[in-house]
Chain A
Amino acid sequence: MSDHHPTAYVPKSAFGKWFESRLPIAGLIHSSFIAFPVPRNLTYFWTFGAILVFMLASQIVTGVFLAMYYTPHADMAFQSVEHIMRDVNYGWLIRYLHANGASMFFIAVYIHIFRNFYYGSYKAPREVLYILGVIIFLLMMATAFLGYVLPWGQMSYWGATVITNLFSAVPVIGDTVVSFLWGGYSVGNPTLNRFFSLHFLLPFMIAGVVVLHIWALHVPGQNNPTGVPIKSGKDAVPFTPYATIKDLFAVSVFLIFFAWWVFYIPNYLGHADNYIPANPSVTPAHIVPEWYFLPFYAILRAIPDKLGGVIAMIAAILIWCFMPWLDTSKVRSTAYRPTYKIFFWVFVAVCIFLGWLGAKPAEGWYVVASQIATAYYFAHFLIVLPVLGFIERPLPLPSSILESVMGVQKGGAGMPAGAAASPPTQG
């Protein structure tokens, strides 16, 4: 072993010892982000966790600065955004970072989610970790929706009207819930005020669940492209420096992608209508949500009944929570599931197709196509996942990560022996 990685944190200074015996936070950081054993064969798909942490931080920082200049009032919100864009020093930069940052956040989260689907990361023993992730995604959707209302443009106003109206489909209490959301009898100033308040609150709730998500990750450790758990120290490397530097590199690449949108096509992902101030007496020709909601919007509109549509849309996400039990296959990684691999890519295509349909008007063959795609979407979870586990013959799994990536005989240096065998169970 040429390289020595200490696995347990030992404070060096007297103050360090004194402090550690009272609050062992340095030890927690050390075991979570320095000594933590990481499978050595992780691909760049595993860097999106770090990218997402970066994006959350970026959204909170830019958002806090925007809130210093933004005015949450129906008569002044639009103007205050234009004030930020025109008169505040680098206000345009902060706002474009924040607006495009939301889309970057969703691009990263969708890659993260589909990586999880492909490699079976949701399966035992990572069910809680995974369900926490679904909760983060739901909170992200709520936050993004609330945030899009704040500039108080036409699409803000009408998007808020359409989405809040969905709650009226709930039997008995629906109308009361809607008035409560609006703070009145239509979307108006009270709505904007409470949406601003909640838009400020939710990201911190996301940050809280992210802490739980990372905590839950550190109990079973990370999944990897083979789906085979770490069996010996040679299968793993310490988080720092190996994963740290790889994550930093990936974040930097992602930032180039991010910068392209912010500096060159900052309004591409927005709607032109949102540069028109909100006008309750003029309805835009097409009310379309942001791109990241489109597949769910297509599912909503595919069901002819309002309540049914709302239930289908919510179920489309909540069904994710049941995947660990709906998927009956014992094999995690799709790399060893030749039949499921085909179904996985068909599912990806169906999701993209639903997204495209969500941007189209609900008329003609688009409606039928949405219904077929929605049916397939649910069939993937309710039929393909349970049935395939019984009938598919998976390929032989490697006996270890090392065997898969290097061949047994070659084996290089990895974690010091014993480090991976006892994953940290702090907390």
Chain B
Amino acid sequence: MMKRTILLAAALVGLSGPALAAGETPTPPQLSWSWQGPFGKFDRAQLQRGFKVYREVCASCHGLTYVSFRNLAQPGGPEFSEAQVRALAAEYKIQDGPNEAGDMFERPGRPADRFPAPFPNENAAAAANGGKAPPDLSLMPKARTFERGFPFFVLDVFRQYSENGSDYLAALLKGYKEPPAGFEVPPGGHYNEYYPGNIIAMPNPMSDGQVEYPKLENGQPQAPETVDQYARDVTAFLMWTAEPHLEARKELGFKVIVFLLLLTGLLYFTKKKIWARIGGEVEGHATPPMTHNP
């Protein structure tokens, strides 16, 4: 079913592709994500790989300021060990203070600290990046979307499609292409198929083989070291940073709905029994005869 949907989407994208004028963006393909659906969960290994991509590729420009180091060890996330998180936090310099002498000082990070922002303020971030500050990534998959259109926005409610932000981000990271003939890309801009308006300030951040993944026993990397895989993994990681309690939410939701179904069933039969005292429930009105008043 999923496969068919993807094929259909791909076909639609393919069909609409040539018809797109400059400045229009194709619909991001719907990828298969591990946290989709009512029982969805994050893939720990994928989140850990995604974190590695974030650290080695994104972190030099993009902050993750709503996330604390300790979150990386929490259940429902990448679930690094406490020791790993302590060691990781210690690699960062955190400004603290004032101390007894009234001075600010730097100390190694602790698990309770948040990821320090890469730039001291937004102006500094903009100045270092050609005039546009790179946005914080903590909430990215929830802060981006694309228009679904009718009837998809109705169907999405029933099939619980809420991965639009993730699909968009993965597509964006892979969307760097040569601009079509006659399309002017201004200096400092980069052509991206999926970015609204097609001109994005961020240069293509990734290339194949750029990030080394943990090796399996046979010496092969855990997952392909390709831009496609990097895009999926870092998107998965960012979905977790945007919604760290996603797994707990879906697990609790299932219990709540099972409980409510039972409660509703019991209430239904109680109601039936009570109304039986007066000969059962009657509702509405008889269909009026189709003759008019004189």
Show the binding face of A for B, using Cβ within 8 Å: 2-3, 40-44, 79, 82, 85-86, 92-93, 96, 225-226, 237, 241-242, 245-246, 248-249, 252-253, 255-256, 259-260, 262-268, 272-273, 275-276, 285, 333, 335-336, 338, 393-398, 404-407, 412-414
Q: How far is the CA of A121 from the CA of B38 in the complex (A)?
A: 41
Report, nearest first, the 8 A-B pairs whose CB atoms are least far apart: A263-B253, A412-B279, A275-B143, A272-B145, A395-B288, A249-B267, A405-B282, A252-B264
**Please, which residues of chain B bring their CB within 8 A of the CB of A86?**
66, 71, 244-245
Q: How many residues of B contact A (CB 8 A)?
A: 53
CB nearest to B245 among chain A residues: A92
B139 within 8 A of A: yes
Residue of B nearest to A91 (CB): B245
Q: Is the CB of A40 within 8 A of B278?
A: yes
The verdict on B83 contacting chain A, using a C-beta distance below 8 Å, is no
Q: List 28 A-B contacts (CB under 8 A).
A: A2-B277, A42-B283, A82-B138, A225-B284, A245-B275, A246-B271, A249-B268, A253-B264, A259-B253, A259-B256, A264-B162, A264-B253, A265-B156, A265-B160, A272-B142, A272-B165, A285-B196, A335-B288, A336-B288, A338-B290, A393-B292, A395-B293, A396-B293, A405-B283, A405-B284, A405-B285, A412-B278, A413-B278
CA distance A222 to B139 in the complex (A): 48
Main secondary structure of the interface of A (DSSP, over half): helix
Pick the residue among B142, B254, B286 that contacts A267 (CB under 8 A): B142
**Does any Cβ of A come within 8 Å of B157's Cβ?**
yes
Spell out B's residues near A (CB within 8 Å). Answer: 38, 66, 71, 135, 138-139, 142-145, 156-157, 160-162, 165, 196, 242, 244-245, 248-250, 252-254, 256-257, 260-261, 263-264, 267-268, 270-271, 274-275, 277-279, 281-286, 288-293
Query: Could you say which of A44, A398, A406 contacts B282, with CB atoms under 8 Å apart?
Result: A406
- Distance, CA A265 to CA B242, complexed state (A): 14
> Do the beta carbons of B284 and A395 come within 8 Å of each other?
no
Q: Considering the complex, give the chain B residue whose CB is closest to the CB of A86.
A: B244
B residues within 8 A CB of A262?
253
Residue of B nearest to A85 (CB): B245
Please determine whether A264 and B250 come into contact, CB atoms closer than 8 angstroms: yes
**Could you tell me if B282 and A40 are in contact, using CB atoms closer than 8 angstroms?**
yes
Asked whether A43 lies within 8 Å of B284 as measured between CB atoms, the reply is yes
> Shortest beta-carbon distance, A188 to chain B, in Å?
18
A92 surroundings in chain B (CB, below 8 A): 245, 248-249
Nearest CB in chain B: distance from A191 CB, A: 22
Q: Which residues of A contact B253 (CB under 8 A)?
A: 259, 262-264
In the complex formed, the residue of A with least CB distance to B264 is A252
B270 in contact with A245 (CB, 8 Å): yes
In the complex where A41-B285, A398-B286 touch, is A273 in contact with B143 (Cβ < 8 A)? yes
